[in-house]
Amino acid sequence: MKNIVLFIFLTILLSSCATISHEIEGNIQQINIHTNKPGIVVHNGDSLSTSKNKVSIIVERKKEDLNIKILDDTIEKSVTINSKNSFEYWLNIPTNYGIGMLIDKNSPNRYAYPKNVYLDIYNSKNEYYLSDRTNKTNEIFLHVSIPYMNHFYFQPENIESKTNTGFWGLSTGLEYYYSSNKFLSFKGLTAFDFFVPVPAPVTLDDTRENMSTFNLELTDNYKSGKFSFGYGINYSWNNWKFVDTSQPDSRIEINRRSQNLGLTTNIYYQIGRTLNIGIIYRPTFYSVTPIADFNYEHLLSLDLAWKIRLKD
């Protein structure tokens, strides 16, 4: 009985803390308005000029949608920003079994607007975006990605062709926008065929084959909305290894390494402000070493990429 009373008391206390934290923050919220050209944002009778195509407004959190206007010398655009249940409101479910939702049911702090709103002034429709769909000339982005799933096809010298699919890798590079929707990308990548999809200690077989690659690539890319498409060239260092440790007193290891020249194509979809998911196909057609000859190999990757703006 005491445990039940204690449980009820703690639940109510947690719910009260959630509500109190709302009151301490106050019934206000800052919204960052981003535009694709300089302009004036009108809200609640106030006119605020953008600085570097951005302006912040302070609003009351409420159930009703928020109406603003964006003006420049020739355009007047009205935008309605939707009010939705706030993150704190949904957080009541895991923190106090939803009891806090009953307490906050009629509170204006239940609602919130997006923290960042992106507007296309040239689009006459009453709409906005939650992530940046436009870029400016001379912008530079840092690209960091994880080639999460990798499919290899290698043709090692004097050995039959080999295929394998595994996980993990790392890629990093820079992207330079030479126009608002076109950019050059230079990246370095290393990819593996680790057979476990999550980092974990594993026990390896006595006999195994491993594939890996290191790759440098240069691509020209086109961005349209949340999608981007790229094509270019790559230079790859491919490695196939066979290891046999089944005999206690002997270890057999065979390595085949090659350097190859080929192409790269990619397609990405932007999920959040910086996160993108993509598919990259890297076929190579000409082997530089160990023997200069035409030889097809490829790497096909499912890529999780973060693109971080470095310079405006």
Query: Do 203 and 288 lie in a common domain?
Result: yes
pLDDT at 14 over 70: no
Give the count of domains, the chain.
2
Instruction: Tell me, letter by letter, the H, E, C secondary structure of 92-116.
Output: HHHHHCCHHHHHCCCCHHHEECCCE
Does any domain span residue 149? Answer: yes
Does any domain span residue 270? Answer: yes
Query: Do 82 and 201 lie in a common domain?
Result: no
Query: Do 179 and 230 lie in a common domain?
Result: yes
Of 85, 119, 153, the one marking the end of a domain is 119
Q: What is the pTM assigned to this prediction? A: 0.63
Does any domain span residue 132? Answer: no
Query: Do 302 and 194 lie in a common domain?
Result: yes
pLDDT tens by residue, 256-296:
999 999 999 999 999 877 899 999 999 999 999 999 999 99
Does any domain span residue 155? Answer: yes
Residue-range definition of the domain harbouring residue 223? 140-311
Other CB atoms within 10 Å distance of the CB of residue 118: 20
Query: Do 211 and 76 lie in a common domain?
Result: no
> What whole-number percentage of the chain has pLDDT above 90?
41
Query: Do 168 and 269 lie in a common domain?
Result: yes
Does any domain span residue 135? Answer: no
What was the pLDDT predicted at 94? 65
Does any domain span residue 41? Answer: yes
Query: Do 181 and 296 lie in a common domain?
Result: yes
pLDDT at 90 over 90: no
Residues 6 or more apart whose CB falls under 8 angstroms from that of 230 comprise 185, 219, 220, 221, 222, 264, 265, 266, 267, 268
Query: Do 151 and 283 lie in a common domain?
Result: yes
Query: Do 31 and 153 lie in a common domain?
Result: no
Q: With cut-offs at 50, 70 and 90, classify the pLDDT of residue 154.
A: very high
Which residue would you say has higher pLDDT here, 251 or 234?
234
